[in-house]
């Protein structure tokens, strides 16, 4: 089915209103339901899942240090919207089919409120997973202004729950950010970019079988999912009317497996001001911005002098990344029409300096961990991805000490790039370096074959998700804390995360 481009206006998710607020806490309640929503005017309304009746979910906006309490509730039907593969870890027939748990991606949060994959709950909390600890989550938001997002994280069905629609923005604001005079209000727009495919009747299409089907199974997980349309804020290929002035956009790749290489067809620069973890030291003017699944870029685009122009936000990333088929590239994201009259003089700025970014030194690390990214074959002949050769259920091996700094070597032995996400903390990218994969596989020693490559300009800020390229060792550095307890780290390509590129880790005292 071919849908027309740029016929629907970009929706902006509503900002969630708190139930109440006292001097100590702000209280929210967020309910998950199934409903129908128009994702494109040429399609019948599509059955989706969402938070508070909205896909994507409403944007949660909090102040740095504000103590927020959220009761996430599940009012979803008993039957999943998409076909479940019961052979995938945590999704066997011994658990209810529809389970949910919410993770605020990038949040520094106590372990009981982090949305552990086995802390799931069903409709009305009727059944809960073995690691369920509390109904009401608490977020201290002791973080600087940054672009976070919340999404489902249930073991074995995260790919399906997020694809069904369970994702939204979570923005932290602070005083320093406000002093910068960035474009704000109606000139600050969050953009969650996701790829989907549709059936003729308008329903969501998600494959039941990989390209090489597994005849023993009615439904089998696929190695990766790539949709043939791009949605922004829940609309297929939308358009946005703007004034000839500066705008701030929060770009979020909320796709299952697809990477994006964003570019404006006007050739103009995109000024990146922030990474996953907040504002960078200086803005950087970029011709292209690459975002792996779950990565964010906070950017300013200046439409002054573009009056009357239609500008297309393009994508040039192959799928899978980086060596995928050119026919899998969906090259259009959305259109920006500079058609609105300028309401008032644009006094916002692209700051020349934002805030200090103290570089962490390798010497401060008390531990180094060598962790491989591996590809194996399961008993059905399917691809299974592992972290350090282990699946989800293997004994825990990573026990960083609270307050300690570690360097992790992400040693990619597979053919794909993997966006690696670590819960609880933000890290810095130290460097990347090509190495000999074959020698490593045989002898478990890293023999470097290329020079040290510094992080990309767009990564020079706090990160919670890093792209680990094939044939490279990607090194990151971080300090664990302030909380102790059980968290996870994983690949954020959701098909990989579900099978089984995810591991628990414990921050110890």
Residue 135 or residue 441: which is nearer to Cu ion going by CB? 441
Residue 10 or residue 491: which is nearer to Cu ion going by CB? 491
Going by DSSP bridges, is the β-strand pair 296-302/246-253 parallel, antiparallel, or unpaired? antiparallel
Give the nearest distance from C-beta 341 to Cu ion in angstroms: 46
60 and 28 Cβ atoms separated by less than 8 Å:
yes
Question: Length of the chain, please?
Answer: 509
501 and 373 Cβ atoms separated by less than 8 Å:
yes
Neighbours of 273 (CB within 10 A): 22
- CA-based nearest residue to 294, from 402, 194, 223: 194
- CA-based nearest residue to 107, from 70, 162, 160: 70
Give the nearest distance from C-beta 501 to Cu ion in angstroms: 5
Paired tokens of 397: 């091996």
- CA-based nearest residue to 314, from 284, 345, 287, 293: 287
Give the nearest distance from C-beta 417 to Cu ion in angstroms: 8
Give the nearest distance from C-beta 3 to Cu ion in angstroms: 29
Element (H, E) at 34: strand 26-37
Q: Alpha helix locations (H) across 38-88?
A: none
Give the nearest distance from C-beta 492 to Cu ion in angstroms: 7
Neighbours of 395 (CB within 10 A): 6
Residue 120 or residue 259: which is nearer to Cu ion going by CB? 259
Q: Where are the beta strands (DSSP E) in 425-499?
A: 428-434, 465-468, 472-479, 485-491
Residue 60 or residue 385: which is nearer to Cu ion going by CB? 385
Give the nearest distance from C-beta 136 to Cu ion in angstroms: 32
- How big is the CA angle at 180 (ends 177 and 185), to the nearest 5 degrees? 75
Residue 350 or residue 410: which is nearer to Cu ion going by CB? 410
**Full DSSP string of 205-261:** E--SS-SS--TT-SS---S----SEEEETTEES-EEE--SSEEEEEEEE--SS--EE
Element (H, E) at 161: helix 158-164
Residue 418 or residue 475: which is nearer to Cu ion going by CB? 418
Residue 224 or residue 298: which is nearer to Cu ion going by CB? 224
Give the nearest distance from C-beta 61 to Cu ion in angstroms: 31
350 and 187 Cβ atoms separated by less than 8 Å:
no
Q: Report the alpha-carbon distance of residue 496 to residue 115 in Å, rounded.
A: 18
Give the nearest distance from C-beta 472 to Cu ion in angstroms: 14
Residues whose CB is less than 8 angstroms from the CB of residue 366 and which lie 6 or more positions away in sequence, other chains included: 401, 404, 405, 406
Give the nearest distance from C-beta 493 to Cu ion in angstroms: 4
- CA-based nearest residue to 174, from 205, 132, 143, 151: 143
Q: Name the site residues for Cu ion (rule: CB under 5 A).
A: 418, 491, 493, 496
Residue 13 or residue 293: which is nearer to Cu ion going by CB? 293
Residue 265 or residue 375: which is nearer to Cu ion going by CB? 375
Residue 463 or residue 496: which is nearer to Cu ion going by CB? 496
Give the nearest distance from C-beta 413 to Cu ion in angstroms: 12
């Amino acid at each position: 089915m071919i849908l027309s481009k740029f016929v629907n206006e970009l929706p902006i998710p509503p900002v969630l209103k708190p139930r109440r607020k006292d001097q100590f806490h702000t209280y929210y309640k967020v309910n998950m339901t199934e409903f129908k929503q128009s994702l494109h005017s040429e399609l019948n309304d599509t059955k989706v899942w969402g938070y508070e009746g909205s896909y994507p979910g409403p944007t949660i906006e909090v102040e740095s240090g504000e103590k927020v309490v959220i009761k996430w509730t599940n009012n979803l039907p008993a039957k999943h919207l998409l076909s479940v593969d019961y052979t995938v870890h945590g999704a066997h027939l011994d658990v209810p089919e529809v389970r949910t748990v919410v993770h605020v991606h990038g949040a520094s949060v106590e372990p009981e409120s982090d949305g552990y994959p086995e802390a799931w709950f069903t409709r009305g909390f009727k059944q809960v997973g073995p690691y369920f600890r509390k109904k009401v989550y608490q977020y201290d938001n002791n973080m600087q202004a940054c672009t976070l997002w919340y999404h489902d994280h249930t073991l074995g069905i995260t790919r399906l729950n997020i694809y069904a629609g369970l994702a939204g923005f979570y923005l932290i604001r602070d005083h320093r950010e406000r002093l910068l005079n960035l474009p704000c209000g109606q000139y600050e727009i969050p953009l969650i970019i996701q790829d989907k495919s549709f059936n003729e009747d308008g329903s969501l299409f998600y494959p039941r079988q990989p390209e090489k089907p597994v005849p023993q199974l009615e439904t089998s997980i696929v190695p990766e999912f790539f949709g043939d349309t791009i949605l922004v804020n829940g609309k297929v290929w939308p358009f946005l009317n703007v004034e000839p002035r500066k705008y701030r956009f929060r770009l979020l790749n909320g796709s299952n497996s697809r990477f994006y290489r964003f570019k404006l067809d006007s050739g103009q620069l995109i000024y990146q001001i922030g990474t996953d973890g907040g504002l960078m030291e200086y803005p950087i003017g970029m011709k292209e911005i690459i975002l792996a699944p779950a990565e964010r870029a906070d950017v300013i685009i200046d439409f002054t002098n573009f009056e009357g122009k239609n500008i297309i936000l393009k994508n040039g990333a192959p799928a899978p990344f980086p060596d995928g088929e050119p026919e899998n590239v969906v090259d259009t994201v959305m259109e920006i029409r500079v058609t609105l009259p300028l309401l008032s003089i644009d006094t916002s700025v692209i700051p020349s300096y934002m805030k200090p970014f103290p570089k962490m030194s390798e010497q401060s690390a008390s531990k180094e961990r060598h962790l491989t990214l591996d590809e194996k074959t399961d008993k059905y002949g399917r691809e299974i991805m592992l972290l350090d050769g282990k699946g989800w259920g293997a004994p825990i091996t990573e026990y960083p000490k609270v307050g300690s700094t570690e360097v992790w070597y992400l040693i990619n032995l597979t053919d794909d790039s993997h966006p690696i996400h670590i819960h609880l903390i933000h890290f810095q990218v130290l460097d990347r370096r090509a190495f000999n994969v074959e020698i490593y596989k045989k002898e478990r020693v890293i023999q470097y074959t290329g020079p040290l490559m510094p992080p990309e300009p767009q990564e020079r800020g706090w990160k919670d998700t890093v792209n680990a390229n094939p044939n490279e060792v990607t090194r990151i550095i971080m300090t664990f804390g302030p909380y102790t307890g059980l968290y996870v780290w994983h690949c954020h390509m959701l098909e990989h995360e579900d099978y089984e590129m995810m591991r628990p880790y414990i921050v110890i005292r």
